[in-house]
Structure formats: structure tokens, C-alpha cells
């Protein structure tokens, strides 16, 4: 199978096979980050631009590290240091950046749909690194990858997503990814933060934390997105924490081998107790590690389509591709040879 998407804008619209293909590609990349020299020449000579209009620690550094581990040149631009300050529109900024011929533009923006708008310019592949309350597709992929790593197949597993569902792009992307792969999803939170329209995706809704956690395989805690809340959705933070903070006691309702996820940044004591966040069931830092592999996979799949086609022709003509004198000392692997990942077939 090849990945035929030109842009990576969301989980919505991706088939089960496409999701599995990206996940399997990411799993093949994970091993590179375990090497002493964490670098392969796969994207040598390509430039990846990270354009971030919102603050970010994990996602931005993860995309940058992913690009660098593939030997691409990574350029970071944040709105606070760009011409946005001088009144330039997003489209003008994007047109100018694309004129410098990057291989891909990674965009984080507070407006839902901003990456879709850039994709319409169709000047280079656009990757959504989180758009408003809409989607955060690479986060969902790294979450699913982490769940698969611990629980095996996603099919038939029950995953609870707890907290501020209404404002969470992480929740939306995860609901789509998990249900496409056959998981049961339970949304848990105060009624004001649980949009009823989400029921159309076949998810359960719970307003009682303990009842919602009964027998679940994985729990994904969400941050209260206070920067997006336009009114009071609950009486006080204390009240919220009393009802929805994941404590050791609440955890007892879940399956004995449950895993705990959080996209970060965490508000300890509000949505998650430190004893849970740092406890034996937490896979929160593994999510961060897997994030690099997922972003390597997405960058690779979006920026090598053309070359893969060329490679097919060259191979047909008996020529080696991409083997000319590399200055990167790396162990040989599928990535060094610019081949389609060995494991990227089926689940």
C-alpha cells in the first residue's frame, strides 16, 4: 500500500487501512530513536517549516526532532517573532514560506480549519499540528500507537476520554481514530463539556467518573482548555477536581492492567493526581517518545511520494537511489535505503 494523501489535515476521512499504514510506518521508525546516532539520511536536502501560532512544547519540539532525525533541515517560526506582528495574513505568510520550496509546512493555529485553508493553496504538503478545537491528528496517532504497544490490537478495547471534551481537538481526533480501529469510546465529563452531537460517532457519554471508568482498558485524561472557555462551564476548579480528577481510588474502577494517557500539559491536582500521573499505570512519557516516531512517519510519507515513484522507475532501470556519499553516520535500515517500510503492511 502507498499513502496517497497530499496533506495530513485530520483523522477524519482516513480509512482503517490508511491509519494502520501510518501506525505501522511509525513503529518501524521507533527504533531509530533508540540508536546511539539517531539519524538517517531519508529526507536529506529537504526543508520542513514549523509554523506555530500557538504556544507548544511537545508538539513543536517533536516535529523538529522528527525532521532532524530524518536529516531534513527544520525551520521553526512562531507567530510572536514573525511578520504576523506587522499585520501579515496567514495566507500571505504561507505563500511566502512556500515560495522558499519547503518539502512540508507544519501548522499549528488557534482557528479551526486554518491548515485546510493553506492546503487549498496547494503549494506544498500541509500537516495539521493542532487547529483550534478541531483536530490534532498526530497526537491521536501517537496515543493509538501507545495503546497498541501496551494492549495489542485496538479492536474491542474500551477507552475512556475524560475532561474538557467540548474544547479538545485531541478528543475529536482520538474518537475518530479509535472508533475507526474498532474501539469502544466512553466520554466522561461535566454535562456542559460533553457535546451531545458526539453521540453520532457511536460513543457513550458519562457524567459520573467512577461509573464511566468501570472496566475500561485505557484512560485518556484531558486538560481543561481554559484559554478556549468562553463562559463558566462548572462552578469552580475545586468542584471540578472533586468530581473528575483521576485519583488512585477512582482508578480502581478500571481493569487491573489499565493504562493512563495524557497529551500534556498536565494540570496536576485538577484533572490528574500526581500519584496517578507518575504511577505504574502511566504511559504519559512513552506517548512523548512515540510522538517523534509518528511525526517521522508523517513527514516521510508526505514528502517522499514523488521520490518513491521516481525510485520505482529507477529500480526498473537498475539504478540505485539515494546511496551517494552520505555525511551521516548511521546504521543501515529500510530508511537508509529510502525504501517503503518493511512493516508497513496490514496490522
Nearer to ligand MLT, 170 or 261 (CB): 170
Q: Which of 46, 223, 295, 338 binds ligand MLT (CB under 6 A)?
A: 223
State the catalytic residue, choosing from 69, 136, 157, 223.
Answer: 136
* Nearest of 151, 169, 218, 212 to residue 187 by alpha carbon: 212
Can you read off the three cell numbers belonging to residue 1?
500500500
Nearer to ligand MLT, 125 or 263 (CB): 263
| 136 catalytic per annotation | yes
Residues 228/170, Cβ–Cβ less than 8 Å = no
State the catalytic residue, choosing from 25, 42, 47, 59.
Answer: 59
The DSSP annotation for 224-282 comes to --GGG--S-SSS-HHHHHHHH-B-HHHHTTS-TT-EEE--S---BTTTB-HHHHTSTTB
| 58 catalytic per annotation | yes
22 binds ligand MLT (CB under 6 A): no
State the catalytic residue, choosing from 81, 86, 200, 317.
Answer: 86
139 binds ligand MLT (CB under 6 A): yes
Query: What ranges make up the beta strands (E) of the chain?
Result: 47-52, 73-78, 104-109, 126-131, 158-162, 184-188, 204-206, 218-221, 259-261
Nearer to ligand MLT, 237 or 321 (CB): 237
180 binds ligand MLT (CB under 6 A): no
Minimum distance of ligand MLT from residue 104's CB (angstroms)? 19
Q: Which of 51, 162, 170, 297 binds ligand MLT (CB under 6 A)?
A: 170
Nearer to ligand MLT, 47 or 133 (CB): 133
d(CA 121, CA 92): 11
Minimum distance of ligand MLT from residue 337's CB (angstroms)? 34
Minimum distance of ligand MLT from residue 126's CB (angstroms)? 17
263 binds ligand MLT (CB under 6 A): yes
Peptide bond into 265 cis (omega under 30): yes
| 59 catalytic per annotation | yes
142 binds ligand MLT (CB under 6 A): no
d(CA 109, CA 274): 30
Residue listed under C-alpha cell 476548579: 237
Nearer to ligand MLT, 69 or 223 (CB): 223
341 binds ligand MLT (CB under 6 A): no
Minimum distance of ligand MLT from residue 140's CB (angstroms)? 10
Residues 211/48, Cβ–Cβ less than 8 Å = no
Q: How many CB atoms lie within 10 A of CB 201?
A: 14
Q: What angle, rounded to 10 degrees, do the helices at 137-151 and 169-180 form? A: 50
Nearer to ligand MLT, 268 or 343 (CB): 268
Can you read off the three cell numbers belonging to residue 69?
532525525
Residues 117/10, Cβ–Cβ less than 8 Å = no
136 binds ligand MLT (CB under 6 A): yes
* Nearest of 345, 290, 337 to residue 26 by alpha carbon: 290
State the catalytic residue, choosing from 58, 68, 268, 307.
Answer: 58
| 338 catalytic per annotation | no
Question: What order do you get walking across the sheet with 218-221 strand by strand?
Answer: 204-206, 184-188, 158-162, 218-221, 259-261
169 binds ligand MLT (CB under 6 A): yes
Nearer to ligand MLT, 102 or 263 (CB): 263
Minimum distance of ligand MLT from residue 321's CB (angstroms)? 37
130 binds ligand MLT (CB under 6 A): yes
In the complex, the residues that contact ligand MLT under the rule CB under 6 A are: 130, 136, 139, 169-170, 223, 263
Catalytic residues: 58-59, 86, 108, 136
Amino acid at each position: 500500500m502507498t499513502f496517497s494523501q497530499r496533506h495530513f489535515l485530520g483523522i477524519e476521512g482516513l480509512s482503517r487501512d490508511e491509519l494502520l499504514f501510518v501506525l505501522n510506518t511509525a513503529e518501524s521508525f521507533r527504533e531509530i530513536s533508540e540508536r546511539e546516532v539517531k539519524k538517517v539520511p531519508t529526507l536529506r536536502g529537504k526543508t520542513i517549516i514549523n509554523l506555530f501560532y500557538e504556544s507548544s512544547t511537545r508538539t513543536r519540539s517533536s516535529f523538529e526532532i522528527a525532521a532532524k532525525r530524518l536529516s531534513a533541515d527544520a525551520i521553526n517560526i512562531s507567530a510572536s517573532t514573525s511578520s504576523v506582528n506587522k499585520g501579515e495574513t496567514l495566507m500571505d505568510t504561507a505563500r511566502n514560506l512556500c515560495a522558499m520550496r519547503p518539502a512540508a509546512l507544519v501548522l499549528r493555529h488557534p482557528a479551526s480549519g486554518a491548515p485546510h485553508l493553506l492546503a487549498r493553496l496547494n503549494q506544498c504538503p500541509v500537516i495539521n499540528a493542532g487547529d483550534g478545537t478541531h483536530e490534532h491528528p498526530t497526537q491521536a496517532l501517537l496515543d493509538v500507537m501507545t495503546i497498541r504497544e501496551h494492549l495489542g490490537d485496538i479492536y474491542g478495547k474500551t477507552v475512556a476520554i475524560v475532561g474538557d471534551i467540548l474544547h479538545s481537538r485531541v478528543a475529536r481526533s482520538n474518537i475518530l481514530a479509535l472508533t475507526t480501529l474498532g474501539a469502544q469510546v466512553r466520554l466522561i465529563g461535566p454535562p456542559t463539556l460533553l457535546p451531545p452531537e458526539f453521540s453520532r460517532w457511536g460513543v457513550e457519554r458519562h457524567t459520573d467518573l467512577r461509573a464511566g471508568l468501570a472496566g475500561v482498558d485505557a484512560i485518556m485524561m484531558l486538560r481543561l482548555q481554559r484559554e478556549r472557555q468562553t463562559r463558566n462551564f462548572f462552578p469552580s476548579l475545586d468542584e471540578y477536581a472533586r468530581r473528575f480528577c483521576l485519583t488512585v481510588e477512582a482508578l480502581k474502577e478500571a481493569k487491573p492492567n489499565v493504562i493512563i494517557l495524557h497529551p500534556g500539559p498536565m494540570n496536576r491536582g485538577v484533572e490528574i493526581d500526581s500519584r496517578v500521573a507518575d504511577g505504574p499505570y502511566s504511559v504519559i512519557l512513552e506517548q512523548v517518545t512515540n510522538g517523534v516516531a509518528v511525526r517521522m512517519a508523517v513527514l516521510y510519507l508526505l514528502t517522499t511520494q514523488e521520490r518513491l515513484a521516481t525510485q520505482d522507475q529507477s529500480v526498473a532501470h537498475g539504478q540505485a537511489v539515494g546511496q551517494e556519499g552520505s555525511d551521516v553516520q548511521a546504521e543501515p535500515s529500510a530508511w537508509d535505503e529510502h525504501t517503503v517500510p518493511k512493516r508497513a503492511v496490514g496490522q
